[in-house]
Amino acid sequence: MSLYVIYGFDTASTLAEETRSPRTEAPKAVLGSVIGAFVIGAVFLFACLLAIPNLPGAIKGGFGPSAIIDANFSNAFSTVFLLVVSAAIFVCCLSIETSTIRLCFGMSRDDRLPISGLLSKVNPRLHTPIGSCLAIGILAFIPMLQFAGAGIVAIAATGMIYLSYLLGNFALLRARLRGWPKTKAPFSLGRWGLPLTVLGIAWGGGMLINFAWPRVQSNPTPNQTLRALNFHWNWLNDRPVLWTVAIFIAAVGAVYFILVQRTKPAHLQAPEGEVYAEEVQAPASAPTT
């Protein structure tokens, strides 16, 4: 459950193109989701801490929210709580899958993925990128065919998402150091943009180290999962899961970029009102007499 507190707020930005006035509304949605999750989560956790009937016993026994509710009210209340949590997680999964489909469609539309033509094709009757929907659904299902440790797979996936956050912030930092944004935008952090970007890099880097740190609770080796996860190769089974996933994805991406993507022309599109430096034509020099 804790994974959905530190992951999922980015879906607001991924789906921004499907909204009206995305340059104005998307930043508000991201900030609202983060602040809302922080406030609601803090109030709920604080209430749970106050309601623990036996703190030493809870620490030893690993009391969860449902057990705390059950101890203070009744089993009916804890059952309702678990049903609400199940519904919330189901909705979160749908939201994350939808944003991933939207991301796949957007990248394939820019010819950044294999078989981009198929992935970016929109069904004229359903008005939906069927190829992207099927591709994301199949890719999400494949790990479940082999691995029983769904929680471990989710941890590795969340760690990789934080790597993408970090890389995005590095690109943003580079742009800010070069003077971006050069035009007024509907939403702007103003002078806070650069320090917040640096803070985001520091926080994201710390979170990534936290995810990648080898330990049974968050980044175990397959051998430490009682074979719920098994790569059928002893050498890999002795390596932390997140490390294996990160290296595999980086290797596949590097090979694809070198062999295919590097030779493709870039499809750059600046936000409205902005132009890229290479598109700016130098003014013609005045004739001399």
Per-residue pLDDT reduced to its tens digit, 25-65 = 888 888 888 888 889 888 998 998 899 988 887 777 777 88
Q: How far is residue 286's CA from residue 235's CA, in Å, rounded to a whole number?
A: 69
pLDDT of residue 281: 46
The phi-psi region of residue 190 (left if phi > 0; otherwise alpha if psi is between -120 and 50; otherwise beta) is left
Pairwise pLDDT comparison (280 vs 93), residue with the higher score: 93
Q: What is the mean pLDDT of residues 218-229?
A: 86
Average pLDDT, the chain: 84
pTM across the whole model: 0.77
pLDDT for residue 280? 46
- pLDDT tens per residue, range 67-88: 899 989 989 999 999 999 889 8
CA distance 163 to 274: 28
Q: Which of 157-166, 241-250, 269-278 has the highest mean pLDDT?
A: 241-250
Which uninterrupted H or E stretch holds 73?
A: none
Q: Are 136 and 48 in contact (CB under 8 A)?
A: no
Say what the pLDDT of residue 170 is.
96
- DSSP 8-state code for residue 228: S
